[in-house]
């Protein structure tokens, strides 16, 4: 067999963990699920795709990681101890497409991948910076605390109110026409939130504002209706006149 002949493994691709990594404090501080996640990333590692490694939940379930929170914690632990580094942060695009995080193992060289705008980088071996298991566990704990703080900041019940009026001013919405016969009747008032930290945009006042009904609903400038009532006897001999008196008597007020 020639020395220049390329030797290939007849059994195919293998997951190779070198002795210095296996015996390092960074690796010994990992939990069983963290080790499974690390092996799952090595499972898809080839000669030139370092930096384009991902671990979706569908493939993680095949390795024994069944919950997305467990998977997220394991990936954070691998990054905290320096065995793995993030090359691209995933998320949701404007079109609604979800992109996964991309990773690289730090003991391998990372070649340029123009498709994902990844630049070439030599092996950094960040895991060598961990000297003790205690130091590795502290970094894993710090990564979990940072992740919880970031998550709590994203959870909000509302947004701060931009104050455009005085804090004590009452906002009365116009819900009636100007010529309504009972325009000053029952209504409601809303006051602006005084505390800028309060995420609620408004708060209700004590209740309905007091209102009184108008006593007169008659159309303005219209006199009351009156009727003529005869007060005397009519003389039939005089057909051209009436011997008596007519009185005007109001019969009521027109509403």
C-alpha gyration radius of the chain: 43
What's the pLDDT score for residue 99?
86
Task: Identify the H or E element spanning 149.
Answer: helix 133-154
Local structure of residue 9 (DSSP, 8 states): -
- For residue 24, give the 3-state DSSP assignment: coil
User: Do the beta carbons of residue 193 and residue 201 sit within 8 Å?
Assistant: yes
Find all residues with CB under 8 Å of 199, minimum gap 6, and list them.
156, 157, 158, 159, 160
- End-to-end alpha carbon distance in the chain: 118
Rounded to 5, what percent of the chain is helix, strand, coil?
Answer: 25, 15, 55
- For residue 228, give the 3-state DSSP assignment: strand
* Spatial distance between the Cα atoms of 39 and 32, rounded to a whole number of angstroms: 11
What's the pLDDT score for residue 145?
94
Q: Which of 204, 104, 215, 197 is nearest to 158 (CA)?
A: 197
How many CB atoms are located within 10 Å of the residue 201 CB?
A: 13
Token output for 188: 């409601």
One pLDDT digit (tens) per residue for the chain, 255 residues: 344 555 577 888 888 899 999 999 999 999 999 999 999 999 999 888 999 999 999 999 999 999 999 999 999 999 999 999 999 988 777 777 788 899 999 999 999 998 888 899 999 999 999 999 999 999 999 999 999 988 877 775 555 555 555 556 555 555 555 555 555 555 544 444 455 555 544 444 444 455 555 555 555 555 655 555 566 555 545 544 444 455 555 555 444
Three-class SS of 49-63: CCCCECCCHHHHHHH
What's the pLDDT score for residue 74?
96
Could you tell me the sign of the dihedral formed by the alpha carbons of 18, 22, 25, 31, in that order? positive
Q: At which residue do the structure tokens 């003790």 appear?
A: 132
User: Do the beta carbons of residue 55 and residue 71 sit within 8 Å?
Assistant: yes
Q: Phi and psi at residue 191, in whole multiples of 5°? A: -110, 150
* Spatial distance between the Cα atoms of 50 and 43, rounded to a whole number of angstroms: 12
Local structure of residue 158 (DSSP, 8 states): S
Domains by residue range for the chain, with CATH: 19-154 (1.10.10), 223-255 (no CATH)
- For residue 205, give the 3-state DSSP assignment: strand
- For residue 113, give the 3-state DSSP assignment: strand
What's the pLDDT score for residue 116?
86
| Global confidence as pTM | 0.58
């Amino acid at each position: 067999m020639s020395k220049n002949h390329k030797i290939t493994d007849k059994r195919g691709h293998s997951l190779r963990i070198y002795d210095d990594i296996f015996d390092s404090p960074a690796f010994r501080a990992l939990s069983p699920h963290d080790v499974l996640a690390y092996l799952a990333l090595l499972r898809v590692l080839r000669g030139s795709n370092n930096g384009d490694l991902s671990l979706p939940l569908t493939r993680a379930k095949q390795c024994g990681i069944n919950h997305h929170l467990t998977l997220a914690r394991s990936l954070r632990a691998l990054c905290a101890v320096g065995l793995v580094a993030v090359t691209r942060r995933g998320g949701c695009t404007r079109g609604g497409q979800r992109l996964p995080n991309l990773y690289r193992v730090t003991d391998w060289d990372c070649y340029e991948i123009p498709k994902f705008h990844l630049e070439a980088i030599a092996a950094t071996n960040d895991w060598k910076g961990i000297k003790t298991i205690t130091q590795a566990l502290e970094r894993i704990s710090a990564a979990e605390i940072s992740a919880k703080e970031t998550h709590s900041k994203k959870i909000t019940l509302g947004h701060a109110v931009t104050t455009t009026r005085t804090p004590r001013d009452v906002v009365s919405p116009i819900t009636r026409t100007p010529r309504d016969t009972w325009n000053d009747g029952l209504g409601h008032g809303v006051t602006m939130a005084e505390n800028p930290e309060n995420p609620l945009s408004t708060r209700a006042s004590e209740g309905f504002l007091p209102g009184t009904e108008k006593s007169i609903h008659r159309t303005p400038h219209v006199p009351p209706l009156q009727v003529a009532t005869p007060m005397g006897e009519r003389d039939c001999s005089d057909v051209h006149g009436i011997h008596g008196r007519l009185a005007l008597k109001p019969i009521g007020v027109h509403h």
